Amino acid sequence: MPGDLMPGDPMPGGPAQGRVPVHDRLFTADGHLLGGRCGTCGQHHFPVLRTCPYCSGAEVAEVALSDRGTLWGWTAITAAPPGYRGEIPFGFGAVELPEGIRLITRLTEPDPAASSFGQPMRLEIVPLHTDDEGRTVVTYAFAPEAG
């Protein structure tokens, strides 16, 4: 999609660029996903919480999650779910990251027949809809790795 950003690009934060993330605690400044890493058990989670959702540890470090992973499960959503204002259909799935976690995410591929288990995937930041102030609201999605 034209105008979509790749991780490493400056984050599309701020009204100045006319793009706003759908939630303010999803991305790092350079457009990676903002996750948590527990100082006690070492497990990662997303979105970042104040406490570890595995061991209750209170020392959670904010970390940039890997922008590459593999496809673990997928489907497509064909009717707008409650509260959703974007386009349909869209892909929905689970991507496994090298950190040892699975993320529930939008997928850029809306055709279930086009995907396969273990397929290499890459993070993209994609537009959802235009808000009442004319800004493009963006969120995270995973796309098939090119090549």
Partner 1 sequence: MATVEIAGVGIHPFGRFDTTVTDMGVDAVRAALAEAAVPRGGFQAAFCGTVYSGVAAGHKVLGALGLTGVPIVDVEAGCASGGAALMLAAGAIRAGQYDTVLVFGIEKMPKGIIRSSFFEPWREEAGLAATPAYFALRAQRLMSESGVTKEHLALVVVKNRRQGVQNPDAMFREEVTADEVLASRVVCEPLHLFMLCSPNEGAAAVVLRAGSAEGRGRVTLEAAVLRSHLPGSVLGEATPLSGLASDAAPPPTTLAARAAFEEAGLGPADLDMVECQDTDAARELLSYEELGLCPPGGSAAWIADGHTEHGGQLPVNVSGGLLSKGEPLGASALGQVVELTAQLRGRAGPRQVPGARVGLGHTVGRGANASVVILKGSS
Could you list the residues that contact partner 1 (CB under 8 A)? Answer: 22-23, 35, 43-47, 53-54, 72-86, 90, 92-94, 96-97, 100-106, 112, 117, 128-129, 137, 139
* Nearest distance, CB of residue 133 and partner 1, angstroms: 15
Q: Identify which of residues 117 and 147 has a Cβ nearer to partner 1 in the complex.
A: 117
The position carrying tokens 């006319």 is: 18
Q: Identify which of residues 5 and 128 has a Cβ nearer to partner 1 in the complex.
A: 128
The position carrying tokens 């992973």 is: 69
* Nearest distance, CB of residue 96 and partner 1, angstroms: 5
* Nearest distance, CB of residue 99 and partner 1, angstroms: 8
Q: Identify which of residues 64 and 94 has a Cβ nearer to partner 1 in the complex.
A: 94
Closest CA to 27 of 124, 118, 108: 124
Closest CA to 63 of 100, 95, 104: 100
CB 144 within 8 A of CB 121: yes
Q: Give ∠ CA 75-96-124 in degrees, rounded to 5.
A: 70
